[in-house]
A and B are shown apart, each in its own frame.
Chain A
Amino acid sequence: MADELVRLDDASIHLGGQAIVDRVNLTIRRGDVITIIGPNGAGKTTLIKAILGIHRLTAGTITREPGLTTGYVPQHTHFQPTLPLTVKRFMALTGASEADCRRALEQTSVGHLYHSTVHHLSGGETQRLLIARALVREPDLLVLDEPAQGVDVNGQAALYELIRELRDRLHCGVIMISHDLHLVMSATDRVICLNQHICCSGYPEQVSHDPAFVELFGQHVARSVAVYHHHHNHDHDLHGDVVPPTDSHAV
């Protein structure tokens, strides 16, 4: 297919004889927003690192669109306090022009932090900075590892909103990992439920009723996700044109 960015066929990664990722088949297309969910140790991060080319597959194949540019927003980004670094300098390390860097920061609503030190940013600001840094490379595929980590609840909704918005604007593919089932279900086109292998996948509604999902997360969670999803459908119209994502840190 023309719009296929990355395709995994029976992709496996074994470590010390154990399968961390087990025969995963997955296609990411331009315009997709795919979320990987799953319990701790399910191999989610390993899988996306394989997609990024950081980890190598031990079996199976991965096919990337020729010339594919990926933007990566890693998990637990910790800036060494010993290394003085401003947002400006961090962005410039991509090699992009100052104008492009500033524009990317504006897009993720952290333009006002241009001269700040990266160590003083809040969780939400750090995530937005990292997304801006991924954006400046004009990625075909945006890969995010728990982008909402360390972000407060309001900020999380805004962040997922931003990710969808960017997908529309850049017409890129998005694949991310998330722990927050409720928000994922409302912000995603396709959910992949991973526990080494793909337990189930599909549209959020499908997945939340899937027996495999129920087994993995329990009745209680599955029902609450389904209920939440229903609610979300109701206020989606309102949500569409209400206030733009507010920055959690803005005073």
Chain B
Amino acid sequence: MLFDAILNDFFWRALLGGLGVVLVAGPLGCFMVWRRMAYFGATLSHSALLGVALGTLFQIQLNLSIAVVSILISIVLMGLTRIQSLATDTLLGILAHSALAIGLITLAFMPDVRVDLTAYLFGDLLAMTREDLLWIYGGAAIVLALLAWLWRGLLMSTVHEELARVEGLPVERLRLALMLMFSLVIAVAMKIVGVLLITALLIIPAATARRLAKTPEQMVGLAVVAGMLSVGGGLSMSWNLDSPAGPSIVVAAFLLFLLTYGLAIPRRQN
């Protein structure tokens, strides 16, 4: 079978996995950009390493433990933001780096486990297994279904939270759903670009798309396309130059971003 042959090749598996992640990173990245949650995303992804550590410690499926830890962290964050004396970015900074540090220490204290830290920090796309693919596409299907179902409410509460509330939308629950989806995408995206670069995969394609889009839906579509081009470009860069795959994808996304803005600026002056 052709499909089987494709799945047997590590390069194709990497490409398929990357494209699957980008499918949800596009829309969720847009929400991150719209709601100014970039730092929140970084905090969640840093805490993913804690998820890895705990998952390894208690021998739980890693995607699952990462998702659970992310969800817990986002709930803690929602509570902590009520503390008025500290700004949210300070709180996020505290939580992000503490979670990362605790994760690193926990991993270091496990003598039986030899963990390849770079794989977690920067991604290990080329080691994508069939099981990983299953997780990615399963997670993507859940997130996309949720997004489609909640789309109008999510968008409205992003445009104007109080108006949304007056119009009877369950603003708090929608925010929770969004955080849940962030946690899911971070759990699966970690494999692709690693803890330190996940936010880039979410935000850069969305920012690229902003320049060209007229409606929110267009922006989402363009962000997915930009993400796919980045995955394709990054992987071929990695293939040809033997550069690390995760960072190559981010660099490809960045180049695409520069290209769009470089093209758009002269047009604006007309």
Contacts and interface: CB of A to CB of B under 8 A. Distances in A.
Interface string B254-268: 000000000000000
A82 B162 contact: no
Contacts of B156: 93
Interface stretch (B56-64, B173-181, B210-218, B238-246): B210-218
Interface string A33-62: 000000000000000010011100000000
Given A84-B214, A84-B216, A84-B219, A74 B160 contact: yes
Contacts of A94: 167
Nearest to B214: A84
B72 interface: no
B162 A85 contact: no
Given A82-B34, A93-B155, A93-B156, A72 B214 contact: no
A83 B261 CA distance: 17
Interface in A81-119: 82-86, 89-90, 93-95, 117
A89 B216 CA distance: 9
Contacts, number: 54
B152 interface: yes
Interface string A121-143: 00000000000010001000000
Label chain A's interface by main secondary structure.
loop
Chain B: number of interface residues, binned into ranges: 20 to 34
B6 to A, nearest CB: 36
Interface string B138-163: 00000000000000100110111011
Contact of B215 (A54, A79, A89): A89
A137 B167 contact: yes
A80 interface: yes
B2 interface: no
A54 B166 contact: yes
A93 B162 contact: no
A18 interface: no
17 contacts: A49-B162, A52-B165, A53-B166, A54-B165, A72-B162, A72-B166, A74-B163, A80-B36, A82-B33, A83-B34, A83-B216, A83-B219, A84-B215, A89-B216, A90-B159, A93-B152, A95-B152
Interface of B: 33-34, 36, 152, 155-156, 158-160, 162-163, 165-167, 210, 213-216, 218-219
